[in-house]
Amino acid sequence: MNYLYLQKLIPVKSFVLLSFAVLFLFACHSGKPENNTIAVAATDSSAFKNLINVYKADFGNGVIYINLNFFNGKDVGGYNIHNGLRRNIHGTARKENNNWIVTLAEPGDHPLDGVFTLTFDAGFSQCDGNWKANNTRYAEKNFKLEKITPSEEEGFFNDPTFDFVFVDYSASKSELHFQKDGSCELKLYKRITDSTYADQLITLKGSYQKENDSTIRVTWKANDILPEQSDFVFEYNDQKDDNYHYPIGIHGEDYHFLPVF
């Protein structure tokens, strides 16, 4: 439209306002594009393959396992298991200098819930952990987080954690379940006398770690049957010509279990 003709149609004051509006819109669209923050650049692709993993640490009163199973470049999710108690965790990851800082919060509806801050080095080979309880009555914890890596030896019993079930074929009908995420369950009928058991099945939850090649230490969620910690000892096959090292039994707390293959 001709500039002079436009002036005749529109009063001077309105024309000035209209001109400013047009210039403002033009400036908005002709400037630099919006700078959306990208949490993980292509050069940081190693974070995707390294962060998703199972980690463990000495939490002072038993081992804690932190399972991270979701990462989209910013948001992180998973769960932790400590003394048989499982809590979901979610939060964010950011790169700060050469480190990765991961902040994870538990749901908040349990008295022992809190917030984890995990600081990974650039190569994800080391991690310093910190946990602060939501309730200030509980002291914060500092720990070193260790990535669980499979053993190079054949047989999954050589790994730090594993999925397997052991069964007590005696009258107690008990079962001991070990799971890959570091948790375990003992299902049993409480013993009343040497030959009689209660009618109601009880499930005890715990967390476990291998003390050595033959001993597993379980830290139980508080109960009135077993102590806070129990040691279970593997019984291995004695065939020297058999290169596959596997247990033929496990015993502890007056229970004797056989593997279910």
Last residue of a domain, one of 111, 126, 147: 147
Query: Tell me: the pLDDT tens digits for 134-182?
Result: 999 999 999 999 998 877 666 667 789 999 999 987 766 789 999 999 9
Could you identify the residue written with the tokens 């594993």? Answer: 162
Could you tell me if residue 252 is inside a domain? Answer: yes
Are 211 and 133 in the same domain?
Answer: no
Q: Does residue 129 share a domain with residue 203?
A: no
Range of the domain at 96: 44-147
Q: Domain check: are 50 and 104 in the same one?
A: yes
Greatest extent of the chain over all pairs of C-alpha atoms, in Å: 109
Residue 29 placed within a domain: no
CB 65 within 8 A of CB 183: yes
C-alpha pair distances (Å), 221 with each of 85, 91, 120, 131, 228? 7, 26, 30, 20, 7
**Residue 98 counted as domain residue:** yes
Q: b/e per residue, 36-68, with b = 16+ CB within 10 A?
A: eeeebeeeeeebeeebebbbbbebeebbbbbbb
The pLDDT mean for the chain works out to: 81
pTM of the model: 0.74
Instruction: Out of 3-12, 67-76, 128-137, pick the least confident.
Output: 3-12
Q: Are residues 113 and 173 in the same domain?
A: no
Q: Which of 31-45, 113-127, 195-209 has the lowest mean pLDDT?
A: 31-45
- The domain boundary, picked from 114, 147, 180, lies at 147
139 shares a domain with 53: yes
Do residues 57 and 143 both lie within one domain?
yes
- Same domain for 242 and 180: yes
Q: Are residues 141 and 165 in the same domain?
A: no
Whether residues 178 and 245 share a domain: the answer is: yes
Q: Using one digit for the tens of pLDDT, what is the confidence trace for 171-226?
A: 667 899 999 999 999 998 877 777 777 888 899 999 999 998 889 999 999 998 89
Q: Which of 107, 125, 147 marks a domain boundary?
A: 147
- Residue 12 forms part of a structural domain: no
**Contact call for residues 163 and 178 (beta carbons, < 8 A):** yes
Work out the average pLDDT over 16-45: 44
How many independent structural domains does the chain possess? Answer: 2
Q: Indicate whether 142 and 181 sit together in one domain.
A: no
Q: Is residue 215 part of a domain?
A: yes
Question: Looking at residue 79, which CATH number applies to its domain?
Answer: 2.40.128
Q: Is residue 120 part of a domain?
A: yes
Residues 249 and 170 in one domain: yes
Token duo for residue 149: 């890596």
Whether 185 and 131 map to the same domain: the answer is: no
Q: Which residue has the higher pLDDT, 44 or 50?
A: 50
